Amino acid sequence: MSPLEQSLRQRQPVLWLNDRRQSIAVARAALEFGLADIQEADARLRRYGPLLARLFPDLAPVSGVIESPLHQADKFPNEIMGRGTSSGRWLIKADHALPIAGSVKARGGVYEVLFHAQELAFQDGLPGLEDDPLALASPEARALFARRQISVGSTGNLGLSIGITAAALGFRATVHMSAEAKQWKKNLLRAHGVEVIEHAGDYGAAVQAGREEAMQSASSYFVDDENSKHLFLGYSVAALRLQRQLAALGVAVDAEHPLFVYLPCGVGGAPGGITFGLRNVFGDYVHCFLAEPVASPCMLLRLASAQDRSVSVDEIGLDNRTEADGLAVGRASEFAARQIRELVSGIFTVPDPQF
């Protein structure tokens, strides 16, 4: 057993540095997507801004653009880590305050539901969509979506994002919730008319149940958190938004002023998509570190695995039980792992009380 694996087994906080990190010029060659795909996703979200503002009136003042504030947190290093431990400027990206879902899942989830709705509407020949994004809210569109189901497996937050957006467009929405999902999230979804199916198993089991149910029906679309490219690209748009917010604050990112970003990681799609976006936007001047609970270090295990194989945390005796419900994932997304293998700078684990 390696010293790293031993520390993980004992639930000790660890920091793993990625010796396979590459310059963006080298890493890019092996990647499926690039900056143009991120820009296209951003353009699609902006195009459907008026639609989102129609569906969610709270978004009208911001023209339907789903974004969160970037707060200055100058007191953070002294108060949290002790005086004199840190230099540089500290900022907090308040994704907990993202509209619709109240978590980072709003970025990917809203994007994938919009993408799917647009695709269905084009296939069906829905009139007016070329010129008017609001055609997706027309009675014809609603009638089309009412015959269709969108489903997802979730520990809670992705369910909120997908469920609320799909139901707002008129889809039949079904969310398969894993055991750790909080009751208030299930209640909120039901209040939006979403069907919530509760599972006794963990996140992986809920995803599998949802995937199998959706395969039974040709009118069902399953948002696959373990494999979805749309979710990934939706998340990556955060990098373009952060670039503008940093510029507005006068924060330079260059060789003398590297940017360090700390991203909580569950299955890896959200922090993976954001890491992918940031490396494409800021190149080698950004260092992305993922944070995982000591009970659920699935991406660390996956990326540190010498054989480059999929590993579950129970293989090293961890129980995947954490209060950080959005991060309670035992096995990382293979898709996300492959995308970030050469992009991410490192991964660290954190005991629950400190999350």
Ligand X SMILES: *Cc1c(COP(=O)(O)O)cnc(C)c1O
Q: Does 173 bind ligand X (CB under 6 A)?
A: no
Distance of CA 344 to the CA centre of its chain: 15
Shortest Å, Cβ 60 to ligand X: 25
Cα gap 294→16, rounded to integer Å = 13
Cβ proximity to ligand X: between 121 and 350 the closer is 350
Name which position in 118, 157, 165, 178 contacts ligand X (CB under 6 A).
157
Q: Does 170 bind ligand X (CB under 6 A)?
A: no
Cα gap 303→306, rounded to integer Å = 8
**3-state secondary structure at position 340:** helix
First to last CA, the chain: 28
Q: Does 103 bind ligand X (CB under 6 A)?
A: yes
Cβ proximity to ligand X: between 264 and 346 the closer is 264
Site string for ligand X, 287-326 (x = CB under 6 A): ---------------------------------------x
Cβ proximity to ligand X: between 64 and 271 the closer is 271
Q: Does 104 bind ligand X (CB under 6 A)?
A: yes
Site of tokens 């990190």: 21
Q: Does 269 bind ligand X (CB under 6 A)?
A: yes
CB-CB contact of 221 with 196 (8 Å): no
By CB under 6 A, the count of residues binding ligand X is: 15
Shortest Å, Cβ 197 to ligand X: 19
Cβ proximity to ligand X: between 121 and 340 the closer is 340
Side-chain-facing half-sphere of 343: CA atoms under 13 Å:
30
Site of tokens 């293989």: 315
Cβ proximity to ligand X: between 117 and 327 the closer is 327
Distances (CA, A) of 198 to 40, 127, 174, 299: 36, 38, 11, 26
Q: Does 93 bind ligand X (CB under 6 A)?
A: no
Q: Transcribe 101-157 into DSSP letters.
A: TSSTHHHHHHHHHHHHHHHHHHHTT-TTTTT-GGGGGSHHHHHHHHT-EEEEEESSH
Q: Which residues of 173-198 are buried (b: 16+ CB within 10 A; e: fewer)?
A: bbbbbbbbbeeebbebbeeeebebee
Q: Does 128 bind ligand X (CB under 6 A)?
A: no
Q: Does 271 bind ligand X (CB under 6 A)?
A: yes
Q: Does 344 bind ligand X (CB under 6 A)?
A: no
Q: Does 277 bind ligand X (CB under 6 A)?
A: no
Shortest Å, Cβ 103 to ligand X: 4
Q: State the CB neighbour count (10 A cutoff) for residue 218.
A: 7
Name which position in 173, 270, 281, 301 contacts ligand X (CB under 6 A).
270
Name which position in 170, 204, 234, 268 contacts ligand X (CB under 6 A).
268
Site of tokens 């900022």: 91
Shortest Å, Cβ 264 to ligand X: 4
Q: Which region among 40-48, 178-186, 238-246, 269-277 touches ligand X (by CB under 6 A)?
A: 269-277
Q: Which region among 38-46, 118-126, 263-271, 343-351 touches ligand X (by CB under 6 A)?
A: 263-271
Q: Which region among 5-13, 18-26, 133-141, 264-272 touches ligand X (by CB under 6 A)?
A: 264-272
Name which position in 264, 285, 316, 355 contacts ligand X (CB under 6 A).
264
Q: Does 204 bind ligand X (CB under 6 A)?
A: no
Q: Which two tokens stand for residue 179?
A: 């055991």
Classify 36 in phi/psi space as left (phi over 0), alpha (psi -120 to 50) or beta.
Answer: alpha
Which residues here bind ligand X, judged by CB under 6 A?
A: 103-105, 157, 264-271, 326-327, 329
